[in-house]
Structure 1
């Protein structure tokens, strides 16, 4: 055997040994993290449940279609409102969620905006009902390109407002960086909810990401897909409890809302979960803020958000001269599910500032006058 062959074999054995050791470590660390953080989660659920009878699958009944990305990934899309509405609002969801994360926005804003606004929702690649993709494409720049594909098919004409939550906000920022010419012309407003322009290495999730044990799951997803099932439970035991515990800040959160968000997280494929972790840690889309500075913007964050703390929101807002900053007291990372009324009101104000006509604002005022008379 040649020296080169011996060296390759040695490196292969060393890599496999490291992977197996990492897998064992992942299980141990995951068990500890799951136990510790789950205890925190149990303190954040109340017996009172105002959303006990909520239909969280409402979006599934809306008009649907498939948008195929430039690299061939089918994205599940839903829309509500007239196709010839004066304005289109497009929603991009966050990590380990799906379009249903905007359930309360779809419910309230459909009534609020009426025929003046069409809302478009879609599942990001690897999430929800959208297709899987190569782990190499699980990057924030790719998500920005996916958003452009959605806009090209679903909103080829007319003004657009973009709304992104968490990783969806990073998607908007990436799109702004890559397609800046659309901003101030077709794209007239943008909202960044519980998001960050740079990697989240300083958050609790960032600390977990630096755990060497997660390399086992990353290795399996990229190089040993047949072994992914061995890492599934361990990886979820590390990341899952952190995501769940950081989702809400108020102890009075509805158990049904908690169950819904946990279901979205649990249904996310392990390859997607692990594949996007590195992207969240290292992304840098601060250049997108330069583009967003041209248009009316909204930045929203809960003051108990552990994943993208309000300091991130304040830093972004400081660079956006046409920005409204909304920090919601007592809310965690899933602020649009926890405090939907405040988020919805802020989105209404954004649209009124961003729309090139006054039709949306006028419709809202007329509807409110009618309600006041009843």
Structure 2
């Protein structure tokens, strides 16, 4: 086990540019039409084919993909990313942009974003989403060399999946991992209020409950509470992202179920079973996944590493994607596909 710190965060870039890399797909998993996004590696044949397909008259307007440097000449890694609670694939796209030499696949989890809720055979909880993840990997024929990454609630989902399916992926990356139950953190009282908020919203009449859950004031308050940056432009970007995508859930019942799972589940529960190399990327100021608990989680991992990013909380994917992507790149270079 090892730990290291990153003390500087480069200036944020507020425009995500994935032109030419992104493709949208739909796949049926246990009767649910799941929407997912595939981001091709820069310099891959898929991107070259897209450029070649542009009519000659307009080719001048299309930027050719950047050449793959010699250091990236090794086989392209495929990374499957799992987003956090109330988010969708948009949240991790700043990190995706900074991993140009990887093929990245990311679904909107059932019930979030463009993916409808489970229609049968699965709950919106850790077992349900873990089963979904297994079906998703199988349906896309992704083998054991696949890298798995989860952010926040996604860290619980992927860690429980890996614990139940040893050898299925390699290695594992957890960003802002949930190392302890939310009620144990410094914001335990806020978690209790959140529990009441989601419970009350599910019990109120439909129109009133949905209005409460999608309240711009409450969404903004959540965003302000999580953000640690003082950069006004970056804050505007973060709040805009939350207002655009934080209310994209299917219905109140599934949201309550998923919230209960996010508040009660942890990576810690299965840490000892995660025998593959596991990277933890934690925020120094994270109040949802506090840093002391990350160190305790590291001690439980058979083969773990911890990278701490200074000056950021639970929004590493928005506020400090550069050091996060650098840590991921370094980790994968040291842990090539089996």
Structure 2 distance, partners of 1:108, 1:307, is: 25
In structure 1, the partner of 2:199 is 215
How many Å separate the matches in 1 of 2:198 and 2:90?
Answer: 28
- Give the match for residue 259 of structure 1: 240
Which of 304, 308, 324 aligns to 2:285? It is 304
1:26-37 matched pairs, under 5 angstroms: none
Q: Which structure features the higher share of helix residues?
A: 1
What secondary structure does 1:356 align onto?
A: coil
Indicate the SS of the match to 1:210: helix
Q: 1:317 to 1:285 in 2, by over 3 A?
A: closer
Q: How does 1:1-374 map to 2 (within 5 A)?
A: 51=13, 54-55=15-16, 58=18, 62-70=22-30, 72-81=31-40, 86-110=76-100, 113=101, 117-133=102-118, 137-157=123-143, 159-182=145-168, 187-203=169-185, 206-211=188-193, 212=196, 214-220=198-204, 227-236=205-214, 240-241=219-220, 243-252=222-231, 254=234, 255-269=236-250, 271=252, 272-292=254-274, 294-356=275-337
Shift in Å, 1:73 = 2.0
Task: Name the count of aligned residue pairs.
Answer: 290
Q: Name the counterpart of 1:24.
A: none
Q: Aligned partners of 1:109 and 1:148: how far apart in 2?
A: 24
The gaps in structure 1 that reach 5 residues or longer are 1-48, 221-226, 358-374
Larger radius of gyration: 1
Q: Using a 3 Å threshold, how does the CA distance of structure 1 residues 277 and 89 change in structure 2: closer, same or farther?
A: same
Instruction: Work out whether residues 16 and 93 of structure 2, in 8 Å CA contact, stay in contact via their aligned partners in 1.
Output: no
Which TM-score applies when normalising by structure 1?
0.69
**Cα distance, 1:163 vs. partner?**
0.8
Give distance in 1, aligned partners of 2:221 and 2:185: 11
Give TM-score scaled by structure 2 length: 0.76
Q: Secondary structure at the match of 1:234?
A: helix
Deviations along 1:159-190, one digit per CA (max 9) or x if unpaired, are 111111001111111101222242xxxx2211
- Whole-Å Cα distance in 2 between the matches of residues 193 and 140 of structure 1? 17
CA contact (8 A) 2:155 2:267 kept: no
Tell me how far apart the structure 2 counterparts of residues 205 and 127 of structure 1 sit (CA, whole Å): 25
> Partner of 1:128: helix, strand, or coil?
coil
Partner SS, residue 132 of structure 1: coil
Consecutive unaligned residues of structure 2, counting only runs of 5 or more, are 1-10, 47-74
Q: Distance in 2 between matches of 1:321 and 1:278?
A: 28
Q: 8 Å contact 1:246–1:333 — kept in the other structure?
A: no
Q: Over the residues paired in the alignment, what is the CA RMSD in angstroms?
A: 2.9
In the other structure, the counterpart of 1:17 is none
Distance between the aligned counterparts of 2:191 and 2:118, measured in 1? 22
The answer on whether the counterparts of 2:151 and 2:174 sit within 8 Å (CA) in structure 1 is yes
1:231 Cα deviation from its structure 2 partner: 1.5
**Offset, 1:80:** 2.2
| Structure 1: distance between partners of 2:25 and 2:336 | 26
Q: Distance in 1 between matches of 2:203 and 2:20?
A: 35
Distance 1:79 1:96 in 2: 21
Q: Secondary structure at the match of 2:334?
A: helix
